[in-house]
């Protein structure tokens, strides 16, 4: 899944979309709020490695320090009313989907997500309807990985590699990120994710584009933390 494969085009398209969205402070702000949540609710970047990386990204696009501090305060004010949710279902073409969210209005987000599934020919399922098809792992994206770096990362307990992505046990995520930063390497992103065990293979680019549009629409919901899909494409 490398070189000039269609999989590379998938990531190029998705990367271009992410880059475009990341140019706005709105997207950066959501990344910071998400980082606090997935980092155990800690608004301290010295404790929360995921938040530390999100704040670094904010600084790279010149988000004012006051904006960042205001977001941290906002989370502290809201967190007592937030409820964590995991939604499961099947998207277009039977692709299994897991959505993590945190909200102060469960009925609203359920209604909004259910409508998106319906519009794309999918169905929101019951708890544990697709969870058995995924493993939860820590995912770290690096700016680049060479063979020498791979050997060092194996010593940190890395489970698997794919291009610039590495996977670790979720319990080791913060420690591995710290060790990677200590090596002077650039961490683009780190988070706990749901990784499909046996992804469904899509048949053509039309199916691929529909899935990507579906995922993007779900991700645009302010209460959604992550969308994890079980598909692949050659």
Taking 50 as the threshold, does the pLDDT of residue 95 lie above it?
Answer: yes
**What's residue 230's pLDDT?**
93
Question: In terms of domains, do 29 and 76 share one?
Answer: yes
In a domain, 35, yes or no: yes
- Residue 214 to residue 121: CA distance in whole angstroms: 10
Q: Render the burial of 54-90: b for 16+ CB within 10 Å, e for the rest.
A: bbebbeeeebeeeebeebbeebeeeeeeeeebebbbb
Given a cut of 80, whether residue 138 has pLDDT beyond it is: yes
pLDDT at 96: 96
Write down the pLDDT at residue 21: 45
Strand-pairing partners, residue 200, are 231
Tens-digit pLDDT profile for residues 97-108: 999 888 888 999
Residues 207 and 96 in one domain: yes
Q: What is the pLDDT of residue 14?
A: 53
CATH number at residue 212: 3.30.70.980
Task: Please indicate, yes or no, if residue 1 is contained in any of the structural domains.
Answer: no
Q: Which residue range(s) make up the domain with 164?
A: 133-196
Q: Rounded to whole angstroms, how far apart are CA atoms 93 and 124? A: 14
Mean pLDDT to the nearest integer, 23-44: 75
Query: What's the rounded Cα separation, in Å, for the pair 11 and 70?
Result: 33
Read off the pLDDT of residues 154-176 as tens digits, 9 standing for 90 and up: 888 888 888 888 899 988 888 88
Q: What's the pTM?
A: 0.72
CA distance 96 to 180: 32
Q: What values do phi and psi take at 169, rounded to 5? A: -65, 140
Q: Which of 25-29, 48-52, 113-117 has the lowest mean pLDDT?
A: 25-29
- Total structural domains in the chain? 3
- Strands 231-232 and 200-201, sheet pairing: parallel
Q: Are residues 103 and 210 in the same domain?
A: yes
C-alpha span between 35 and 29 (Å, rounded): 10
CB 125 within 8 A of CB 90: yes
The pLDDT, as a whole number, for residue 34 is 77
Q: Which of 51-55, 118-122, 172-176 has the highest mean pLDDT?
A: 118-122
Q: Does 96 share its domain with 205?
A: yes
Q: What does the pLDDT read at residue 3?
A: 31
Q: What is the dihedral of CA 61, 189, 81, 110, to 10 degrees?
A: 110
Instruction: Read off the pLDDT of each residue in 60-82 and give the average, rounded to a whole number.
Output: 81
Q: Which of 1-5, 115-119, 126-130 has the lowest mean pLDDT?
A: 1-5
Over the stretch 165-209, which tens digit does the pLDDT of each residue have?
A: 889 998 888 888 888 888 888 888 888 889 999 999 999 999 999
Whether 87 shows a pLDDT value over 90: the answer reads: yes
Cα–Cα distance measured from residue 50 to residue 45, given in angstroms and rounded to the nearest whole number = 8
Confirm whether 119 is domain-assigned: yes
Percent of the chain with pLDDT over 70: 90
Residue 108 shares a structural domain with residue 217: yes
């Amino acid at each position: 899944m490398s070189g000039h494969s269609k999989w590379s085009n998938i990531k190029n398209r998705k990367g271009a979309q992410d880059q475009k969205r990341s140019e706005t402070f709105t997207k950066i702000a959501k990344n910071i709020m998400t980082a606090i949540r997935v980092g155990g609710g800690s608004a301290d970047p010295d404790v929360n490695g995921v938040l530390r990386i999100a704040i670094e990204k904010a600084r790279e696009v010149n988000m004012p320090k006051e904006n960042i501090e205001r977001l941290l305060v906002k989370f502290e004010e809201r967190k007592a009313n937030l409820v964590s949710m995991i939604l499961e279902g099947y998207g277009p073409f039977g692709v299994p989907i897991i959505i993590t969210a945190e909200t102060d209005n469960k009925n609203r987000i359920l209604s909004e997500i259910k409508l998106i599934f319906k519009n794309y020919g999918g169905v929101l399922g019951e708890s544990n309807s697709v969870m058995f098809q995924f493993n939860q792992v820590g995912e770290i994206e690096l700016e680049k990985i060479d063979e020498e770096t791979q050997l060092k990362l194996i010593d940190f307990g890395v489970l698997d590699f794919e291009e610039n992505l590495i996977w670790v046990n979720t319990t080791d995520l913060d420690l591995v990120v710290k060790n990677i930063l200590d090596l002077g390497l650039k961490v683009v992103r780190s988070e706990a994710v749901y990784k499909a065990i046996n992804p469904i293979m899509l048949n053509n680019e039309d199916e691929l584009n529909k899935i990507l549009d579906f995922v993007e629409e779900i991700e645009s919901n302010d209460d959604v933390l992550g969308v994890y899909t079980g598909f692949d494409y050659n």
